[in-house]
Structure 1
Amino acid sequence: MGKLAILSGGGSLPVMIAQAHPEAVRVVFEGVAHDMPEPVDLHNIAKIGGIWQALKDAGVTRVVFAGGLGRPDLNPADMDAGMMSIAPRLLAAMQKGDDALLRLIIAVFEEQGFEVVGAHELLPEICASEGLIGGPEPDAAALADAERAKEVLAALAPVDVGQGAVVAAGLCLGIETLQGTDALLRFVGETPEKLRRGKGVFVKAPKLGQDLRVDMPAIGPDTVRRAAEAGVAGIVVAAGNVVVIDPPGIRQAIEETGLFLLGQVI
């Protein structure tokens, strides 16, 4: 099995991979916040050709993308020949949504001979298990709301909108968009009481057909606390397809908030 490189964004997931694979090359990017401990290789994402060459020179054959990178703010003056060669495809993909952009990232690295692997392949234990993960058993109303939220997400998948939805008493209170989970839950929490018929459920799952190697959904203790602030009864995640970051912290957050966390096959 070839040498691994971790292309790191923000958050704890890249650090977890580095701890499990200490031999991996740790790549971080200018202008992108990260928590990766030294030693790291700092690169400008606009010089992707240089990144490819550095990885090859280091003997890397496998790469994993982990953590939040956001959309690159590229300055044409900084682009090297490698980035210029993919720029037309990159600009076209950025107009189509995150899924198209992430698929292009995978494609261009594979074209360079790298195998792109998912964080869940390197750390299978981090994925949500099926069944009640913590908190009280959800009642029939909560389970029905979860089913409705899944329908909403399935309907939105073809237009590449988001990975989460909140439904209460059958009514959709919010969907996750580019702003992310925290923004969704804050928006739901601001819903006037007269528009809410119940507490509701937050469902987090990948989009249908989403390539999980570069964009697997994740939840952590802060997700649980934000969901509680939004007033929902609990969280349902796609078993095997959502990363559970900091399980002890999540268990503590569940105990603090009284929410349930349930893994279902979605």
Structure 2
Amino acid sequence: MSRTAIIAGQGALAPAVAAMLDDPVIAALDGFAPPLPHQSFRLERLVPFFDWLSEQGVERVTFAGAVRRPRLDPEAFDPRTASLVPRILGAMQSGDDAALREVIALFEEWGFTVVGTPEIAPDLVPAAGMLCGEPTAGDISDADCAARIVAGLGGLDIGQGAVVAQGLCLAVETLPGTAAMLDFVARHRDMRPRPNGPRGVFWKAPKPDQDRRIDLPSLGPDTVDEAARAGLAGIAWQAGGVILLDREQAVERARAAGVFLWAR
């Protein structure tokens, strides 16, 4: 029987995806344990890990959750994985998109089909619509501006989010991630030129040319709380391109905080 393996990272996404599958194989990179039982593996022994997946009857692989680039131990490579050292090291030294494409290529070369979250759990990726609240004309303009910024940064492989208020970019998402960006905005709330003007919008979207089978941006209830603490009017994202975790809780918190949620 064909099985699907979840290469799980930290956070709530891997458990949410696992709940959508019958008898998934769950594995995680050593040092980045997800909050559910799993088999650990190391990049230095990637080929034996591929063998193990095949022994479990795995034909499809999906990636779910946050993982940082691991430190590699040159002495830990097994003889078969050693032949991949140039590719693995090259990927680790590349931008996020290039690194993830190389990871996908390696899995596919060993006969696995790599699938994205929208294919396995489409309910986690909202289609276009207003989930909560209503943006003002100023909010819509700020969302438009933030979307252009994120699209422009995509070619530089920097991040998947930006915050704009009153037409001014307050922050862009970089390596520290969404929470760090929104914390920065919260600590610099006085940067808005008009205290009573539009409060700002957080925009999230995949990079224009990224492979959407891996590293799809995600939001959840904690993101709503962080946006509220930053004093923002709402969160907008590219419909069909962003994962929304625990939708009911996210909407409930957004309503309580007066924050709109918009898949556009």
Correspondence for 1:27: 27
1:99–1:194 Cα change, 3 Å: closer
CA distance in 2, matches of 1:122, 1:110: 18
Aligned residues: 261
Correspondence for 1:154: 151
Superposed counterparts of 1:235-246, under 5 Å: 235-246=235-246
Q: Structure 2 unaligned segments of length 5 or more: list them.
A: none
* 8 Å CA contact 2:134, 2:260 repeated in 1: yes
Q: Structure 1 unaligned segments of length 5 or more: list them.
A: none
| Paired amino acid for 1:138 | P
CA distance in 2, matches of 1:165, 1:159: 14
* 8 Å CA contact 2:201, 2:233 repeated in 1: yes
Superposed counterparts of 1:1-266, under 5 Å: 2-36=2-36, 38=37, 40-134=38-132, 136-191=133-188, 193-197=190-194, 198-264=198-264
CA distance in 1, matches of 2:81, 2:131: 43
Quote how far apart the aligned CAs of 1:108 are. 0.6
* 8 Å CA contact 2:151, 2:207 repeated in 1: yes
* 8 Å CA contact 2:220, 2:244 repeated in 1: yes
Deviates more, 1:234-243 or 1:190-199: 190-199
1:128–1:109 Cα change, 3 Å: same
* 8 Å CA contact 1:49, 1:81 repeated in 2: no
Per-residue Cα deviation, 1:207-257 (whole angstroms, up to 9, x for no partner): 001111111110000001101111111000111110110012102211221
Identity %: 42
TM-score by length of 2: 0.94
CA distance in 1, matches of 2:116, 2:34: 19
Quote how far apart the aligned CAs of 1:196 are. 3.9
CA distance in 2, matches of 1:65, 1:212: 11
Q: Cα RMSD (Å) of the superposition?
A: 1.5
* 8 Å CA contact 2:126, 2:239 repeated in 1: yes
CA distance in 1, matches of 2:2, 2:134: 44
Deviates more, 1:70-79 or 1:100-109: 70-79
1:222–1:82 Cα change, 3 Å: farther
* 8 Å CA contact 2:203, 2:235 repeated in 1: yes
| Paired amino acid for 2:260 | F
TM-score by length of 1: 0.93
* 8 Å CA contact 2:165, 2:192 repeated in 1: no
Quote how far apart the aligned CAs of 1:86 are. 2.3
| Paired amino acid for 2:134 | E
CA distance in 1, matches of 2:153, 2:142: 17
